[in-house]
A and B are shown apart, each in its own frame.
Chain A
Amino acid sequence: MIFKRMLARVWALLLMLMVVAQTVFAQGKTVTGKVTDGKDGSPIPNASVTIKGTNLGTTTDATGSFRITVENNNAILVISSVGFGSTEITVGSQSDLSVNLTATQGNLNEVVVVGYGTQRKRDLTGAVATISAKDFVKGAIQSPEQLIAGKVAGVQITPNSGAAGSGSRIRIRGGASLNASNDPLVVIDGVPVDNGNALNLINPNDIESFTLLKDPSAAAIYGSRASNGVIIIVTKKGRKGKVKLSFGAQAFVQQPVKRVDILTADELRNVINTRPGLASLQPFLGKSNTDWQDEIYRNALGQDYNLSVSGAIADGKLPFRLSGGFLNQDGILRTDNFKRYSGALSLTPKLFKDQLKVELNLKLARTNSTDPDFGAIGNAVSFDPTQPIKSNSVRYGGYYEWLDGAGYPATNSNRNPIALLNMRDHERIGNRFIGNIQFDYAFPFIKGLRANLNLGYEYANEYGTFKKSDSAAAAYSRTTKGGYNNRSYLERNNKLYDVYLNYVRDLGANKNSRVDFTVGHGTQEVGYYNFNFQGRSYDGTPQGQPPAFLSSNSDDKNGDNGDMLISYYGRLNFTLANKYVFTFNGRADGSSRFSKDNRWGYFPSAAFAWRVNEENFLKDSKVISDLKVRVGYGVTGQKDIPRLYGYLPVYNQSNTSGLYQLGNTFYTRLGPVEYDPDLKWETTENINAAIEFGFADNRITGIIEAFSRKTRDLINTIPIPLGANFANSLLTNVGNIESKGFEFTFNVVPVRNRNAQWDLGFNVTYANPKITKLLINDNPNFQGNLRTTIPGSINKLAQIDAVGNRPGSFYMLQQVYDKNNQPIEGLFEDINRDGIISDLDRRVFKPSEAPLFLGFTTNFSYKKFTAGVLMRGSVGNYVFNTVAMQLGVQNQFKIGTGIQNAHSSYLETGFVAKQELSDYYIQNASFLRLDNINFGYDAGQIAKNVNLRITANIQNVFVITKYKGIDPEINGGMDSQIYPRPRTYVLGINLDF
């Protein structure tokens, strides 16, 4: 409510402001200029240009240029930028100024956002990486995490699929957990948000910077949620100065790139007509040549518009930024569409002579997803290409379908993929609000002491309607009303309260020592609401029994599952003589997910950095411009376990088809659920060591980082002895994972002068977690926990968590090959020599995750032109090509009534039956992807007070890989009918007023 009222006032204020701004700036003199680095003449973007004595000002653009209107020639401009000194220039008679700034030594005062406050970059002792807007990946970016894909060592970002609006999986150093979440904690403007899709409701254009806390010495301040690293996102804020209007528009085309390799209509006819054993299918052959994959995919268009107003009003006392965005993206799969409407407002006033800083951030987003039937992707591969799209029948929407003798859709046959897409209507509408207000108060009596209060609120809901026509073959029913017309509703909220005190003081005679101390307390509560709806047929008739806890309308909140966290934390940062930096973090977290005896966890860390270049022997070195050595140790936790109340003995109720009859009554059954009263945190210990270096005036910089990480008490579902609990497996703390690895970041600036700059960046990460313990009682005969169902199989699992191996490694039978290196059907290595090929002959084969991954970026600018390239790759990961395994066999042709098409690998192997466990299909999926090529041209002033910038991109240009499926980059390594990632061509303009 409060937010709503506030929002209304802000809008009123803004409207007034627009009017005022127009009149104020209509007179005076316009001055343009360019701000460059005094050393080499390279342009300085984002430098601040203000008119002395006023709150008016502007910032420079990407080429260092600015334009400002002054009252008269006496005006003095103050020009400054982070990492540079500031300079003042009297305008005089000039109208085009050239300003040189001098770099301050080692970017002395550059600050980095860390948990609960900021730190000077030079005082950092942990693995902290910051990527700000100017370094973001460019192009049609729908989801924020894509802005930093491939840019940061140790961070792996894999898009989930090519579907419109689909997010990505983020892994920092390969993940520390097994069954608990491996997602990093995401903090947006100081509000830790619930993981899972946290990001795709944020408009990427509103983001100012990402800060990644990769090791515990940096992340331990977030305690129980920091084991997988922390991503801190700061959104753009208003700056002091003239009100600027900025408009960006992008249009893009997505193009399907690669298809699953299947038999063409002619090849299929040839196989059915010539190969033995298939004669019975000949009567089913049709005369058409339908390329179903051609039919389901399209070139998809997208548009993205962004408008922002920022500056400062009320005499410069109220800096603000207001933005709105609209994204409308079709997916390459027909009927796939994603829309996002977003708005953000930030107000950052300073009150009482700057003693009280207030920061208000409000973000709203609404998404509208039209979900296509992803089953069409698989059916386009397997549906008979000799059949037409449409039959002459009036039934089943007029689409060609396989029918049984009685004219009904044949039960075991696949369905027409175009019908799957067109005869369904699934829509999800999501709303999300994140708001926080932060008060930062500098105490007047004690210099250097601040108090900070942060109140945050997040609310999200999603409403879904799912309809399928009763005449669709896929939902046809002979005995009951067919089709469906269902609903879903989810709701979640998140309340944050955080307060901390911070004290900073420079010490010593030269003020070259410093103490920076923070202590705080916070609570965060997340509420989940579940709603149940009864299934209905297409015409609205209720189907089956009503669910337990039925909600007849969506106002009826019938489940409040909460997750509460109470925390105390502190940080001490001590810098001695500008050379030696010590950091100590500590956090105590209490979580509602654990019993009273186990709910408090304590997470300390300590780190030390030595700024070697500050030593006398290096201080004046012409070669070494920066050298820092740091080591850290820390403990973090993981509370994001698959169950909210795993420690609590609870009884669940059976659903309405799980009743039991005693006498004449059907009873809802009440049953105890398995639980571990001793459930506790997963704890990760980490040692991190790094050297940061810079040569030749930091034209060459790099970081070499090594880490060792050990997670104890893994929250894991393991088999337990029957009789001891209410299930044969239990979510408990058992097992360890260890991971050793390194990261290497290397940046070079080969060219930097007044007209041109060329940057090269390269990063590589090795992180290879291995399970070192899995059971309560170690048992060498225990193979491990199997996981990941093989698509199309009945409960056969492809992967294993086994001691000595990476989690989720493939666990297969070893294929035997003939003289010509062709796999022999049904013949596998009898590993245990017992004469029978059984599960006991399976062995751990290859990892499904890459131990080594890398990113490469280069950017080049010459005068008004910019160009950039981004490449990403991985080495050593394997993918199970289940598409070839399932479909590349002769039995595929005759699964149901009619014919199903097969994968072309059948022509090579000639397999009759599926070889579900053959390692033949585990294929090397190392890859190198040219992810992004971008061009930009700064057209400068095209009309009075209007600057234009034009950009063009190609995304997903090509992939180099040995993998035989359509895309090697698959989360979890199971390739089953993935929505292909498109190639995207983007054209964009930016107008600044």
Chain B
Amino acid sequence: MKHIIFKLFTVLLLGSVITSCHKRLDKFPANTLTAADAYKDEAGYKQVLARVYGSMVLTSQNAPATGGSGNGDVKGVDEGFSDFFRNFWTAQDLTTDMAKWKWADPGLYDMQFNKWDAGNPLVEGLYGRCQLVITFANEFLRESTPEKLSSRGISGAAASNINQMRPEVKFIRAYQYWALLDLFGNPGFTTEEEQIGKFNPKRITRAELFTFIENQLKEVETSLPAPRSNEYGRADKAAAWSLLARLYLNASVYTGTQRNTDAVTYSKKVIDAGYSLLGDYRWLFLADNHLNNPEAIWTLNYDGFKSKSYGGATFIINGTSNGSALVEINGLGGWGAMRATEKIPSLFPDQTGAIDKRSQWYTTGQTLGMDDYFDYAQGLPTTKFRNRTRSGGFGNDPTREFSDIDIPLFRLAEMYLIYAEAVKRGGAGGTEAQAVSYLNLLRQRAYMNNSGNIVTYDLDFILNERARELYWEGFRRTDLIRYDRYAEGTYLWPWKGGVKNGTAFGLHRKLLPIPSNQLAVNPNLKQNPGY
């Protein structure tokens, strides 16, 4: 008996050392995929492509969430604020005469009163969002090279379909770098050449970045699908041309050199690509605006049920709506936060849209002026964005919290305006007569007749027409900077600089600061002058 026990123990002891193979330490998570799983076929690549596109719309993989610094893509900022369009819009429109916000959300007053510093969470969120979309794009490009595809046994039609996604991803990256170029000037810079880790990306200057974006767009221009031939929501040649047109229109701000001829060339390419204006301006921002919209060039696609975030039009409609009457009109509501300053509604012949249909303001119980930004009844909320369908129905979200409205990052109307402005600024290859006819297309749609037609125009007219046509779509800051009216005392609006009647603020604020958290961890970065 003793011998048996002795032997048993000896066997157990020795056996344990041998059998406990260290391979048992190779554990893999359930419900999660490794890179090999993700890229095993075309369908996987398509899903990663959806991540790249969708990272401008959804704030994390577990959408939607708000509050805390939890699981949003951009850590350390409120996830609800971290949608690309909401961040971009906050910088582009809330810092101008377009709108003011009632509540003291972190960093928000500093933004709308033009007092932000490098620690502002909304600045950090914007910079972080742009950079992360770029990082996701870089990863896609690293993983979709012909070598990678063949190593994974992907060939034939699948391989060529995946290859077709690469110029789109480069375009998305170029678009995000354009946002960084416009907002931050000299950001950190990475491409697919770098690997994932803990390194310090280098800094790129504004001029260098301009060249990079231009070259990228010229490169993908040839390989992208023809205009209007790609799937809805995916970029085509016209998207790249549109971005080039916008880039060239603002070239003197970015590099000090006018590129208006190029702006004319590329806006004209888009105009001639077969797009046409949507029949009624008031249909542009409806819940079903993804259907039968010949004007949209490239859109961010939201859905109140399947693609939810607190950005996009969800934030605009909830933000601007208050009270059951307006909530009913806009289809969602209401945080009761946001109204236009008097400057924008005053650009229209009237504020109810009786003459110019673009003038969509809610006036019941509201005043035009805004002596107190904390009083929602002062300033006009808009009804331009309505989560209602053309036939009058509500959106997909039964709780009426999230919007279905797709946000066009480029639409035909902007191209007409670029053409007209570039020609006026001396760009060759176009004529003012042609420009007038384009502008009258916009005005005929707005007035629903010819009574608003013009015969000549000047640059001030363009700036105002851009505001009338594109208000609350995220253009204003760039436009005012191009016209030297953003920080300067030449143009004031209520609460500019944090003062009721408006005041000039530092010219250095034409660029946002590089976020202090990024400066602290990346010694290659340099703060923009003045901060």
Chain A positions within 8 Å of B, measured between CB atoms, are 352, 355-356, 406, 441, 443-444, 451, 453, 477, 479-480, 497, 499, 501, 521, 523, 525, 530, 544-545, 548-549, 558-564, 566, 590-592, 599, 644-645, 648-664, 666-673, 675-678, 717-730, 732, 775-777, 779, 781-782, 786, 789, 794-797, 836, 838-840
Contacts A658-B307, A662-B232; A722 near B136 (Cβ below 8 A)? no
Set of chain B residues within 8 Å of A663, measured between Cβ atoms: 231-234
Given A654-B63, A670-B38, A840-B119; A523-B24 close (CB under 8 Å):
yes
C-alpha gap A93/B106 in the complex (Å):
88
7 nearest CB pairs, A to B: A660-B54, A663-B231, A658-B63, A722-B131, A721-B522, A667-B50, A723-B190
* A726-B62 contact given A592-B26, A599-B25, CB 8 Å threshold: no
A406 contact set on B, CB distance < 8 A: 324
State which of A656, A723, A795 has its C-beta within 8 Å of the C-beta of B188: A723
Specify which chain A residues have a CB less than 8 angstroms from the CB of B105 in the assembled complex.
794
24 sampled A-B residue pairs with Cβ under 8 A = A352-B2, A451-B13, A544-B305, A545-B305, A548-B31, A549-B31, A564-B24, A564-B25, A590-B22, A592-B24, A592-B26, A650-B32, A655-B62, A657-B63, A661-B233, A662-B46, A662-B234, A663-B232, A668-B47, A669-B61, A723-B188, A724-B194, A777-B521, A836-B115
| Cβ-defined contact, A497 with B58, below 8 A | no
In the bound complex, what is the Cα–Cα distance between A111 and B37 (angstroms)? 55
CB of B426 closer than 8 Å to a CB of A: no
For the complex, what is the distance from the CA of A590 to the CA of B24, rounded to whole Å? 10
Knowing A662-B46, A722-B132, A722-B135, the reply to whether A592 touches B25 (Cβ < 8 A) is: yes
Task: Contacts A521-B16, A728-B132, A836-B115 given; indicate if A443 touches B6 (C-beta within 8 A).
Answer: yes
Q: Is A662 in contact with B303, judged by CB distance below 8 angstroms?
A: no
- Chain A residues with CB under 8 Å of B117's CB are 836, 838-840
CB distance from A797 to the nearest CB of B (A): 8
Whole-angstrom CA separation of A591 from B44 in the bound complex: 31
Contact B30 A671 (CB under 8 A): no
Q: Are B135 and A726 in contact (CB under 8 A)?
A: yes
Identity of the chain B residue whose Cβ is nearest the Cβ of A477 in the assembled complex = B399
Q: Is the CB of A795 within 8 A of B78?
A: yes
For residue A6, give the distance in angstroms from its CB to the closest CB of chain B: 19
> Which of A477, A657, A722 sits near B201, CB closer than 8 Å?
A722
Say yes or no: A444 contacts B307, CB within 8 Å: no
Interface pair B5/A441, CB less than 8 Å apart = yes
Task: Report the minimum CB–CB distance from A952 to chain B (whole Å).
Answer: 46
B62 to A654, Cβ gap below 8 A? Answer: yes
**Shortest distance between the CB of B520 and any CB in chain A (Å):** 4
Chain B residues near A728: list those with CB within 8 A.
74-76, 128, 131-132, 517-518
- The reply to whether B518 and A721 form a contact with Cβ atoms under 8 Å apart is yes
Instruction: Check B35 against A649 for contact (C-beta < 8 Å).
Output: yes
Q: Give the Cβ gap from B327 to chain A, nearest Cβ, in Å.
A: 11
Q: Note all chain A residues with C-beta closer than 8 A to B521.
A: 718-721, 775-777, 779, 782
CB pair A669–B58 under 8 Å, yes or no, is yes
Chain B residues within an 8 Å CB radius of A669? 47-48, 50-51, 54, 58, 61
- Which residues of B have CB within 8 Å of A523? 20, 24
Distance to closest chain A CB from B18 (angstroms): 11
With a CB–CB cut-off of 8 A, which chain A residues contact B196?
Answer: 649, 672, 675, 724-726
B50 partner residues in chain A, CB cutoff 8 A: 659-660, 662, 667-670
Question: Is the CB–CB distance between A671 and B27 below 8 Å?
Answer: no
The answer to the question of B479 belonging to the interface, with a C-beta cut-off of 8 Å to chain A, is: no
Q: Are A545 and B306 in contact, with the CB atoms below 8 A?
A: yes
Known: A654-B54, A655-B61, A838-B117. A566 touches B131 (CB 8 A): no
Tell me if B55 is interfacial: C-beta within 8 Å of chain A. yes
Complex interface: chain A residues within 8 A of B524 (CB): 721
Q: Binary interface profile of B, 1-31, with partner A (CB < 8 Å = 1, else 0)?
A: 1100110010011001100101011111111
Give 4 A-B pairs besides A645-B28, A658-B64, A722-B188 with Cβ atoms closer than 8 angstroms.
A655-B62, A663-B232, A719-B75, A725-B196
- CB contacts under 8 Å to A, within B41-92, are 44, 46-51, 53-55, 57-58, 60-64, 67-69, 73-78
A339 to B125, CA, bound (A): 47
Whole-angstrom distance between the Cβ of B56 and the nearest chain A Cβ: 9
Within 8 A of A (CB), among B145-187: none
Q: Name which residue of chain B comes closest to A724, CB basis.
A: B199
Cα A717 to Cα B521 with chains together (Å)? 13
* Interface Cβ pair total, 8 Å cutoff: 310
Given that A499-B16, A722-B188 are contacting pairs, would A794 and B78 also be in contact in the complex, using a CB cutoff of 8 Å?
Answer: yes
Q: Which residues of A contact B189 (CB under 8 A)?
A: 723
* Distance between Cα atoms of A479 and B394 in the complex (Å): 12
Once the chains bind, are A530 and B31 in contact (CB under 8 Å)?
Answer: yes
Q: A660-B307, A662-B46 are in contact. Are A727 and B132 (CB under 8 A)?
A: yes
- Complex Cα–Cα for A775 and B519 (A): 12
Bound Cα distance from A663 to B77, whole angstroms: 32
Give every chain B residue within 8 A of A840 (Cβ-Cβ): 117, 119
User: In the complex the two chains form, is A719's CB within 8 Å of B194's CB?
Assistant: no
Distance (Å) between the CB of B76 and the closest chain A CB?
6
With A497-B16, A592-B26 in contact, is A719–B201 under 8 Å at CB? no
How far does the alpha carbon of A586 sit from the alpha carbon of B57 in the complex, in Å?
Answer: 52
The A interface is mostly helix, strand or loop, or mixed, namely loop
Contacts of B49 in A (CB 8 A): 662
Q: Is the CB of A795 within 8 A of B31?
A: no
Which B residues are in CB contact (< 8 Å) with A443?
6
* Chain B residue with the shortest CB-CB distance to A500: B13
CA distance A648 to B27 in the complex (A): 10
Query: For A352, A441, A645, A669, which residue has the most chain B Cβ atoms within 10 angstroms?
Result: A669
Cβ contact within 8 Å between A671 and B55:
yes
Q: Is the pair A666, B398 in contact by a Cβ cutoff of 8 Å?
A: no
Task: Please indicate the chain B residues that have their CB under 8 angstroms from the CB of A559 in the complex.
Answer: 30-31
B134 at the interface (CB under 8 A from A): yes
B308: Cβ under 8 A from any A Cβ? yes
Given contact pairs A662-B53, A723-B189, A795 touches B106 in the complex (Cβ within 8 A): yes
Q: Does B285 contact A (CB under 8 A)?
A: no
B241 on the A face (CB < 8 A): no
Shortest CB–CB separation between residue B507 and chain A, in angstroms? 18
Q: How far is the CA of A395 from the CA of B30 in the complex (A)?
A: 46
CA distance A32 to B301 in the complex (A): 87
Contacts of A652 in B (CB 8 A): 32-33, 61
B34 at the interface (CB under 8 A from A): yes
Q: Check B136–A796 contact: CB distance below 8 A.
A: no
- In the complex, whether B379 has a CB less than 8 A from a CB of chain A is no
What is the distance, in angstroms, from B143's C-beta to the closest C-beta of chain A? 9
Q: Report yes or no: B200 in contact with A724, Cβ–Cβ below 8 A.
A: yes
Residues of B within 8 A of A718 (CB): 521
**Contact call B28/A658, Cβ cutoff below 8 A:** no
B194 touches A723 (CB 8 A): yes
**In this complex, what residue of B is CB-closest to A645?**
B29
Contact B127 A722 (CB under 8 A): yes
Q: Are A661 and B306 within 8 A (Cβ)?
A: yes
* Chain B residues near A664 (CB-CB < 8 A): 231-232
Q: Provide the residues of chain A in CB contact with B398, threshold 8 Å.
A: 479-480
B197 within 8 A of A: yes
Q: Which of B77, B290, B516 has the most CB of A within 10 A?
A: B516
Bits for B500-531, please: 1 = Cβ < 8 Å to A, else 0. 00000000000000001111111111000000
- The CA of A776 and the CA of B520, in the complex, are separated in Å by 10
Write the nearest CB–CB distance from B204 to chain A, whole angstroms: 11
Q: Which residues of A contact B400 (CB under 8 A)?
A: 479
B432 interface residue (CB < 8 Å to A): no
Could you tell me if B27 and A661 are in contact, using CB atoms closer than 8 angstroms?
no
CB distance from B333 to the nearest CB of A (A): 10
- A795 and B67 in contact, given A649-B34, A660-B54, A662-B233 (Cβ under 8 angstroms): yes
Query: Interface 1/0s, chain B 473-506, versus A by CB < 8 A?
Result: 0000000000000000000000000000000000
Question: In the assembly, what is the distance between CA of A659 and CA of B50, in Å?
Answer: 8
Q: Which residues of A contact B6 (CB under 8 A)?
A: 441, 443-444
Instruction: With A667-B50, A726-B135, A795-B67 as known contacts, state yes or no: A658 contacts B78, CB within 8 Å.
Output: no
Q: Is the CB of B301 within 8 A of A661?
A: yes
